[in-house]
Amino acid sequence: RYMPYKGIIMATLISPMIVPLIISGVAIFFFMAKAGLAATHTGIVLAHIILGTPFVVITVTATLSGFDHSVTRAAASLGSNPVNTFMKITLPLILPGVISGALFAFVTSFDEVVIVLFLAGLDNTTIPIQMWTGLREQLSPTILSVATCLILLSTLVLVAAELLRRRSERIRGINR
C-alpha cells in the first residue's frame, strides 16, 4: 500500500540500530537531560524503547510483507467487523513476528551498558551495569554465573524465534 514518506519513516525508526551506540548514547543523554529525564527510571526505560524499536519494526515489517490480505477481505465479505477480523485472523498470523521482535528487543535491552552508563544516576543500577562494575573490580563466581545465564537466555531467545518462524510458516501454509 502507498504511504507517503515511507522511506524517511523507516530510516528514522531503524536508525538506532545503524548509528554507532556511543553516538546514540550521547544524543539520548542530551535529549533526556533537556527533557529532565536523565538519571531517572523513566529516562532509562525510554532509552531502551528507542534502542529496541528497530528490532520490532524490522521483524513486524517482514511478517507483514508476507501477509495475505485476501484472508482479511474474505472475513470482511463474510460479515466480520474490523476488530474481530484483526483479533481472530490478522493477529494470530502476525503474532510470531511481533513476539520475535519483542524477544530481540528484550535481549538488546537486557545487554545494554553504554546507554545506561550515560543515563543512570547513583540509584539506578541494571544487571549489565552491576556485571560491568564487578568485572572492573574483581572477577567473582557470581558474575560468571550471571554471564552464563545471559548466554543461555540468548540461546533460548534464538530457539524461540526459530520455533515462532516455523509456526508462522506452518500457519500460513509455506513449505520449504
Neighbours of 55 (CB within 10 A): 22
Domain regions of the chain by residue span: 6-172
pLDDT, residue 74, reads 92
Contact by Cβ (8 Å): 40, 120: no
40, pLDDT greater than 70: yes
Kindly tell me if the per-residue pLDDT of 4 is higher than 70.
Answer: yes
pLDDT bracket for residue 86 (50, 70, 90)? very high
If one compares 111 and 55, the residue with the highest pLDDT of the two is 55
Amino acid at 96: P
| Amino acid letter, residue 113 | V
Instruction: Tell me which CATH homologous superfamily contains domain 6-172.
Output: MetI-like (1.10.3720.10)
CA 106 to CA 45: how far, in whole Å? 12
